[in-house]
Amino acid sequence: LVDRFGGLQDAIVEAAKRAGLKPEDVHAEYLEKKPSAFMRLISQILDSNKDDDASAGDAFTRMATERRAVFARALGDVKRIGTGAAIQARCL
């Protein structure tokens, strides 16, 4: 159930209150691995190519390119969720 909408920080503050902790003493701890230098470089290259693709062609070409990009992002997200480490939120 959702009591209200908010971001990650709002959820952390609410979890701290419910756990009887001071919200200002609580922080998020991220357990995922940081990307390697090589992966950051590849990501930068791919991000710079996105701008070039979107500016080419007529309106229909741009719309098709944008839809493919959205689909590719969604597919990448599904792949990361399916093969990556589980995401957990815990009160430590």
**Which has more confidence, 26 or 52?**
26
What pTM was estimated for this model as a whole?
A: 0.34
pLDDT for residue 21: 93
pLDDT averaged over every residue in the chain: 77
Give the phi and the psi of residue 83 in degrees, each rounded to 5. -110, -10
Residues 43 and 75 in one domain: yes
Residue 29, C-beta contacts closer than 8 angstroms, at least 6 positions apart: 92
Q: What CA–CA distance (Å, rounded) separates 67 from 50?
A: 13
Contacts of 43 (CB under 8 A, 6+ apart): 35
Q: What is the mean pLDDT of residues 45-60?
A: 63
pLDDT of residue 22: 93
Are residues 49 and 26 both part of a single domain? no
What does the pLDDT read at residue 10?
87
- Statement to judge: residues 39 and 12 lie in one domain: no
Whether residues 16 and 41 share a domain: the answer is no
For 71-85, write each residue's pLDDT tens digit.
888 888 777 777 766
